[in-house]
Amino acid sequence: MPGSGHLHFFTMANKWIGAFLGFITTGSILGSLAGFAVGALFDAFSGGRDEPAATESRATSSERRREGQRNSFLFSLMVLSAHIIQADGKIMHSEMEYVRDFLRRNFGETAREEGEAILLRLFEYRKQHGTQAWNVQIEQACGEMAQGMPEEHRIQLLAYLCEIAKADGNVAGEEVEGLRKIARWLFLGADLIDRMLSLGTDNLDDAYTVLGLTPQATDEEVRRAYKQMALKHHPDRVATLGDDVKESAKRKFQEINDAKEKIFKARGMR
């Protein structure tokens, strides 16, 4: 692993990581996540701690809080993206390109280049330290994310990771298991992965899976499950994460509605 003098993915002069570090303040909603990101993650993935560059003063405006939420989410994306991309032992071009496109659409080409540099450093860490050490770091990261991020943001993390796994047209068993582990580590429940991977199909059984039900569920159970899913996945709950994430949430919300309509039609419900 290159020494800290060669590894600058926490101190690079780029907008989204720099803003993330600059936003962190004691007592903020991101406090526990920030402590991990600047502390344990930096130590583990760089081989030693460097002091981050001088940061901006304490943020007080709602705009800065939203900026911090968004950037903490994006930072988490890079960490967990690396985990899912390598889950099946391969680094697929299509999966890397999905991540590149996300960064490019949200932040431009420079952020895309720097985000990719972070991924490559994370890949190198896993290669040199082994899967067991890597998994320990990812589990710890998820634990910190679960404390520092609201549930709706963690749900969008999972949705994004599922899209990475599907990017090559085949979700391998190792990827499904990796996604389920992340869901558990984020305290969201592994069954949420099955629901997300079942979105967008024409299969009635998949529609039941999306709502967390079986065909034996009563009509009232179907209505109740849909209301719970609709409330939890409403795109307005992730408005602070940027237009691209909100648009993705809207698509997922529509797919949940489609699953509900498919079940209602099959049962003759209104």
Tell me the pLDDT tens digit for each residue of 70-107. Answer: 666 677 778 889 999 999 888 999 999 999 988 887 76
Residue 194, token pair as written in the block: 């099955």
SS3 215: coil
pLDDT of residue 261: 93
pLDDT of residue 263: 93
Q: Which amino acid is at 45?
A: F
- Cα–Cα distance, 144 to 37 (Å, whole number): 9
Band of residue 2 on the pLDDT scale cut at 50, 70, 90: very low
pLDDT of residue 67: 65
Q: Which amino acid is at 146?
A: A
Of the chain, the percentage scoring pLDDT greater than 70 comes to 72
Q: Domain segments of the chain: what residues? A: 4-190, 198-270
Q: In terms of pLDDT, which residue wins out, 58 or 35?
A: 58
Global pTM? Answer: 0.65
- Cα–Cα distance, 24 to 31 (Å, whole number): 7
Whether the Cβ atoms of residue 77 and residue 118 lie closer than 8 Å to each other = no
Whether the Cβ atoms of residue 104 and residue 74 lie closer than 8 Å to each other = no
Band of residue 148 on the pLDDT scale cut at 50, 70, 90: confident
What average pLDDT does the segment 170-189 reach? Answer: 92
pLDDT at 214 over 70: yes
pLDDT of residue 183: 94
Distance of CA 166 to the CA centre of its chain: 14
Q: Which amino acid is at 257?
A: N
Residues whose CB is less than 8 angstroms from the CB of residue 22 and which lie 6 or more positions away in sequence, other chains included = 55, 56, 59
pLDDT at 260 over 90: yes
- Cα–Cα distance, 13 to 44 (Å, whole number): 21
Which among 260, 191, 266, 259 has a CA at the least distance from the CA of 223? 260
8-state DSSP, 214: -
Whether the Cβ atoms of residue 238 and residue 246 lie closer than 8 Å to each other = yes
pLDDT of residue 179: 95
Superfamily grouping for domain 198-270: DnaJ domain (1.10.287.110)
Q: Which amino acid is at 135?
A: N
